[in-house]
Amino acid sequence: MRIWYPVSERIKMRNGDTMLIMVKDGEVIHFTPDMSLPHSEFVRRATGQLPAGAWVGTVSKLDGEVAAISSKHFFGYQLPAPPEVAEAVRKTFE
């Protein structure tokens, strides 16, 4: 069973949905709804290691708003995604 998915079209989320995501060059390149995985295992299974310049974190939909938070494991903090990542998330998830 494949646990990560490459992104090729807009993904509909329901309120309360949460997924792990990877973003590179303004595009969501992988995601999984399998929240039992730590970010490190998601990256290992999707690409082996975090590609140079890529961002990994969690996307959630709450009260109709889609938002992304950075991976503490990879970045040492959990904060809202930087603007370019947030834009990629908004154009990929609804």
Q: What are the tens digits of pLDDT across the range 35-88?
A: 999 999 999 999 999 999 999 999 999 999 999 999 999 999 999 999 999 999
Residue 51, classed as helix, strand or coil, is: coil
Q: What is the pTM of this model?
A: 0.88
pLDDT band at 10 (very low <50, low <70, confident <90, very high): confident
User: Residues 92, 10: contact at Cβ < 8 Å?
Assistant: yes
The two tokens of residue 93 are 């998830």
Question: CA 35, CA 18: separation in Å to the nearest integer?
Answer: 7
Count of C-beta atoms within a 10 Å radius of residue 50: 19
